[in-house]
Amino acid sequence: MTLQEFQHGLDAIDAPRAGQGSSTRAVHGGAQRRKAFSALNTPIVQTATYTFSDTQELIDYMERKTWGDGDDREEYGRYGNPTVSAVERKLAALDGGEDAVLYASGMSAVTSLLLSVLPAGAHIVMTDDCYRRTRQFCQTFLKRLGIETSVVPMGDYAALEASIIPKKTRFIISESPTNPYLRVADLEQIAAIGKRNRVLTMIDSTFATPVNQRPLEWGIDFVVHSATKYLSGHNDLLAGVVVGRADRIQALRDARGVLGGVVDPQNAYLLDRGIKTLGVRVRQQNSSALAVAQFLESHSAIERVWYPGLASHPDHAVASAQMAGYGGVVSFEFAGGLKETSRFIDRLKIPYIAPSLGGVESLIEQPALMSYYEKTSEERLALGIKDNLVRFAIGIEDSADLLADLEQALA
């Protein structure tokens, strides 16, 4: 399938939902026609609890007689909030899912999903190059609950299927693109393996965003995002989301009422506001990242570039077939050791040195000195993290300025 055919396919999938593309969904998705107080924007309902005028109203509420279509439980802030619900509807529309549930962070989304669906003694399969904390949660916290995790190499679908233990494996977890090597999962294959073996599938789609890829439409069961990144887009809040089938998401929402990882209404509002510009931001980031990746690949001071939009990337073919854009993160290996690489980073004037990605500001980091600081060089190498590796999360600055900045720092 060519990229054009894929995009055409997406348009066709969008059509029955209202004929809308991802930017239209980002602006209008989840909004109700009748606005509270006729205000254009979703109000911030800053409350921890809700009142009832008398006992009869309480009983009618408990019997759901007063609930409108699609209403969620809202008698206490941990069960529901209208601002949060509006964002959940928008996120469901964006990913082409039936429903979505919002959490206090991406990690809260991942851990709540796994704690809610996995029975004691279950087994999960995870692809490597996975977000470090997700892997840590599975291999330490879940292990203590008697849940075992097998880690298989990204892109080895035979190994993935072979590691499934009949009647014990409940979940396949992958990310796409991954961090820091931007490996891209073949969603069609993962969904097929899941269905063949009756195992649920989950993709952490944080790096892709629903603008570049919508895993549910390839048959994946759950999509997770750290909404802290591209969805909110301004490096000013933490949030996470799980999107999927309505009955499964309702079960997660009920579990959230117990586990407690709710997002604050103020943050939900900021997220809603951030999502409205997702389409324009991500398309700009896609285009700058491709230009940066091509520039770096042609430069003699760079040993290797990892970007799925380059033909040299191991997953270029699958990314071209299944993604509408290659994303805004470029990883590369500087020709030099730890110190030379740091000196190059220090010469850059536009990107801030910081963890995270997906916001309007470009951020740059040397994973050896950020996420893996406490490890030795040898331990890092065993995890695939080289001293000269750099992760550049492109913001929405002008591409020409980003390229000029790289050029002066490499000169």
| Catalytic residue numbers, as ranges | 78, 131, 204, 229
What residues does 240 pair with on adjacent strands? 103, 226
Peptide bond into 166 cis (omega under 30): no
Cβ distance to ligand PLP smaller for residue 313 or 399: 313
Go through the chain and tell me how many residues it has. Answer: 411
Question: In this chain, which of 194, 210, 240, 279 binds ligand PLP, going by CB under 6 A?
Answer: 240
Is residue 125 a contact partner of residue 152, using CB atoms and an 8 Å limit?
A: yes
Least Å distance between CB 52 and ligand PLP? 35
Least Å distance between CB 54 and ligand PLP? 42
Cβ distance to ligand PLP smaller for residue 226 or 284: 226
Distance between CA atoms of 85 and 271, rounded to whole angstroms? 12
Which helix (DSSP H) or strand (DSSP E) does residue 306 occupy?
strand 302-306
Told to check if 228 binds ligand PLP by CB under 6 A, we report yes
Distance between CA atoms of 123 and 139, rounded to whole angstroms? 11
Cβ distance to ligand PLP smaller for residue 208 or 324: 208
Helices (H), 323-410: 338-347, 377-382, 399-410
For residue 115 the two structure tokens come to: 């704690």
Q: Pattern of binders to ligand PLP over 129-168, x per CB under 6 A? A: --x-------------------------------------
Helices (H), 103-245: 106-117, 132-136, 143-144, 157-162, 187-196, 209-212
Residues 193-222, interacting with ligand PLP (CB under 6 A): 204, 206
Could you identify the residue written with the tokens 């989840």? 30
Q: Find the residue with minimal CB distance to ligand PLP.
A: 106
Told to check if 106 binds ligand PLP by CB under 6 A, we report yes
Told to check if 238 binds ligand PLP by CB under 6 A, we report yes
Least Å distance between CB 206 and ligand PLP? 4
Question: In this chain, which of 91, 107, 125, 191 binds ligand PLP, going by CB under 6 A?
Answer: 107
Told to check if 105 binds ligand PLP by CB under 6 A, we report yes
Is residue 79 a contact partner of residue 261, using CB atoms and an 8 Å limit?
A: no
Least Å distance between CB 339 and ligand PLP? 26
Give the side-chain half-sphere CA count within 13 A for 368: 23
Per-residue 3-state assignment (H helix, E strand, C coil) for 181-222: CCCCCCHHHHHHHHHHCCCEEEEECCCCHHHHCCHHHHCCCE
Distance between CA atoms of 384 and 391, rounded to whole angstroms? 14
Cβ distance to ligand PLP smaller for residue 14 or 177: 177
Cβ distance to ligand PLP smaller for residue 273 or 299: 273
Distance separating the N- and C-terminal Cα atoms of the chain: 41
What are the strands of the beta sheet with 123-127, ordered from one edge?
99-103, 240-244, 222-226, 200-204, 169-175, 123-127, 148-152
Cβ distance to ligand PLP smaller for residue 88 or 204: 204
Q: Which stretch binds ligand PLP (CB under 6 A): 104-112, 153-161, 243-251, 378-386?
A: 104-112
Number of residues that bind ligand PLP (CB under 6 A): 12
Residue 352's contacts (CB-CB under 8 Å, 6 or more residues apart) are: 361, 362, 363, 364
Residues 18-47, interacting with ligand PLP (CB under 6 A): none
Residues 169-188, interacting with ligand PLP (CB under 6 A): 175, 179
Q: Which stretch binds ligand PLP (CB under 6 A): 20-28, 69-77, 99-107, 180-188?
A: 99-107
Q: Which stretch binds ligand PLP (CB under 6 A): 58-66, 101-109, 293-301, 359-367?
A: 101-109
Cβ distance to ligand PLP smaller for residue 82 or 240: 240
Residues 270-289, interacting with ligand PLP (CB under 6 A): none
| List of residues contacting ligand PLP (CB under 6 A) | 105-107, 131, 175, 179, 204, 206, 226, 228, 238, 240
